[in-house]
């Protein structure tokens, strides 16, 4: 099967997992306070990941960028609380639609934190995306609910976390970034959960285990999809998440999907797809310019002999030239990294 079709299949599968996951979170929140759900999501998620890290724990825990790991973990914890709170209180379709705004906030963070320059076309795409957010929220027409505000705060926190990941990925292993986020989040979530503590009953244990393990499976599936194809090619298929979440919410909770939410979500997602497409284009041009500059330098060094210069260039075009760690795709993901 072509890699592009594999990527699409994995992206649709991850969207289905996340839609079902949010239904499980809503069901769990009917009897359990969100801080307890967040704690057990972290606990079961870390337990699930231990076998992947155990054989190389020493190298995975090696880092010189502890403060940035702390900032990434803190923003991730806040994003989780906001998302779980939003899923418990707001219509699921609205929460999904607002989550599509994460790449918009991530682009702003890249400008103000990383110093990236955006031109007029991306600025227009950003503005259109935020118009879509206003269509979903309808301030001044409908009263903004606490759940919708929590979803918006989650999108901002995830964008901050993704910016940290983008910085960390320059020097850190992907396993290190993931493991530190769990190790920092677990004690914080446990301390907060103590204020709401009670032992779950058997049915709640099953829900909590499914949330924690399902979140990791969904994340791994999504990461694999983005390693096989460009984000701009896969992001449109994230609309499946809105359709499935709305359908499941209608079945289990009697929620109705309104046309403005669909329109607003479509506008936001289209803007995010364009931003991802432009980012991929610019990154490709930068790599080509760097390769051309390197080739010209070799030609000058080797006296203009193209055959002699070609061999080193071929060697550098291998896998190590552009490492695929599974983290580089994170800045273009549609608001999913921290919450699932």
For residues 260 and 19, what is the distance between their CA atoms, to the nearest angstrom?
20
Domain coordinates of the chain in residue numbers? 3-302+325-332
> Among candidates 50, 97, 46, 48, which has minimal Cα distance to 76?
46
Assess contact for 240 and 12: CB atoms under 8 A.
yes
> Among candidates 241, 215, 210, 237, which has minimal Cα distance to 226?
237
pLDDT in tens, the chain (340 residues): 778 788 889 999 999 999 999 999 999 999 999 999 999 999 999 998 888 777 777 777 778 888 999 999 999 999 999 999 999 999 999 999 999 999 899 888 888 887 877 788 888 988 999 999 998 888 767 778 899 999 999 999 999 998 898 888 888 888 888 888 898 999 999 999 999 999 999 999 999 999 999 999 998 898 888 888 877 788 888 889 999 999 999 999 999 888 888 999 999 989 888 888 877 777 677 777 777 776 666 666 665 554 544 444 333 333 222 222 222 333 333 333 343 3
For residues 333 and 257, what is the distance between their CA atoms, to the nearest angstrom?
24
Exposure string for 52-77, b = 16+ CB within 10 A, e = fewer: ebeeeeeebeebebeebbebbbbbbb
Q: What is the pLDDT of residue 229?
A: 81
Assess contact for 260 and 136: CB atoms under 8 A.
yes
Q: What is the pLDDT of residue 244?
A: 92
State the number of CA atoms in the 13 A half-sphere of 290 facing the CB.
10
Q: What is the pLDDT of residue 299?
A: 67
Give pTM, 2 decimals.
Answer: 0.79
Q: What is the pLDDT of residue 212?
A: 93
For residues 179 and 192, what is the distance between their CA atoms, to the nearest angstrom?
20
Q: What is the pLDDT of residue 303?
A: 59
Assess contact for 213 and 41: CB atoms under 8 A.
no
């Amino acid at each position: 099967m072509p890699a592009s079709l594999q990527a699409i299949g994995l992206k649709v599968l991850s969207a289905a997992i996340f839609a079902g996951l949010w239904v499980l979170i809503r069901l769990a929140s009917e009897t359990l306070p969100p801080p307890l759900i967040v704690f057990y999501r972290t606990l079961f998620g870390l337990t699930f990941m231990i076998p992947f890290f155990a054989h190389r724990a020493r190298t995975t825990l090696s880092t010189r960028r502890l403060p940035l790991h702390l900032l990434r973990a803190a923003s991730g914890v806040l994003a989780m609380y906001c998302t779980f709170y939003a899923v418990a209180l707001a219509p699921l379709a609205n929460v999904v639609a607002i989550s599509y705004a994460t790449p918009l906030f991530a682009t702003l963070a890249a400008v103000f934190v990383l110093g990236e320059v955006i031109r007029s076309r991306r600025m227009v795409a950003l503005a259109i995306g935020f118009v879509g957010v206003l269509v979903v929220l309808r301030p001044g027409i409908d009263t903004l609910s606490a759940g919708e505000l929590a979803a918006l705060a989650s999108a901002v926190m995830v964008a901050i976390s993704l910016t940290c990941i983008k910085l960390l990925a320059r020097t850190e292993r992907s396993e290190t970034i993931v493991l530190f986020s769990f190790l920092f989040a677990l004690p914080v979530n446990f301390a907060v959960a103590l204020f709401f503590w009670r032992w779950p009953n058997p049915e709640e244990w099953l829900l909590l285990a499914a949330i924690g393990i399902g979140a990791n499976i969904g994340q791994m599936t999504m990461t694999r999809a983005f390693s096989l194809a460009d984000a701009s090619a896969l992001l449109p298929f994230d609309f499946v998440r809105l359709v499935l979440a709305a359908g499941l919410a209608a079945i289990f909770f009697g929620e109705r999907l309104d046309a403005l939410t669909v329109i607003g979500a479509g506008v936001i997602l289209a803007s995010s797809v364009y931003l991802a497409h432009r980012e991929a284009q610019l990154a490709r041009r930068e790599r080509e310019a760097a390769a051309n500059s390197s080739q010209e330098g070799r030609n000058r060094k080797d006296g203009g002999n193209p055959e002699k210069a070609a061999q080193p260039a071929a060697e550098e075009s291998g896998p190590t030239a552009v490492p695929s760690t599974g983290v580089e795709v994170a800045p273009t993901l549609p608001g999913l990294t921290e919450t699932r």
